[in-house]
Structure 1
Amino acid sequence: MTHISPDPEPERTTGLEPGGGVPPGETPPAESSMPEAGPQEVHNPTKGWAKAPLTIILVLVVLIAAFFLAYALAMIL
């Protein structure tokens, strides 16, 4: 894979000022026109909840609900 420098060459690029800047009113090159503009994404995390954390949360909710139900029954009886 060859890497092309995103820096413009003043001799070959029209509309550049001597310092390499773009004059007012002219549009600079877009990112999509430059190869390798962003970082290469090698890890794409999965979407949604994992099974273990979801199971732990559900178990905690059931235990808390059971505690309050038992407490309410103990107060009634």
Structure 2
Amino acid sequence: MNHISPDPEPERSTGLEPGGGVPPGETPPAESSLPEAGPRETHNPSKGWARGPLAVILALAVLIAAFFLVYALILIL
């Protein structure tokens, strides 16, 4: 495994003070990206909602709306 050091190299970076600090008003050197930063992803799940959970949510929404409609009709009559 070859790791790229995210620390700046003083001999290649301009404007660094002794100890690796950056003087005020100057942009610090960019960090390098570490290719081994996260776990290896071998399975990409499908995007979107599955039909089962979506059907359950829609059925509950319809039942709740029907309950309040019937409750409103009972109060009016």
Query: TM-score of the superposition, structure 1-length normalised?
Result: 0.55
* Correspondence list, 1:51-62, <5 A: 51-62=51-62
Name stretches of at least 5 consecutive residues in structure 1 with no aligned partner. Answer: none
Q: Out of 16-25 and 54-63, give the one that drifted further.
A: 54-63
1:57 is aligned with what amino acid? I
Q: Which residue of 1 aligns with 2:18?
A: 18
Separation (CA, whole Å) in 1 of partners of 2:70 and 2:14: 80
2:38 to 37, 40, 48: 40
Which digits, 9 at most, give the CA deviation of each residue in 1:24-70, with x for residues without a partner? Answer: 23221224xx1318943637665433322211112223334555677
Question: Aligned pair in 2 of structure 1 residues 39, 51: CA closer, same or farther (>3 Å)?
Answer: farther
CA RMSD of aligned residues (A): 3.6
- Secondary structure of the corresponding residue to residue 25 of structure 1: coil
1:55 is aligned with what amino acid? A
Higher relative contact order (CA 8 A, sep 6+): 2
2:52 is aligned with what amino acid? A
Q: Matched residue pairs, number?
A: 73
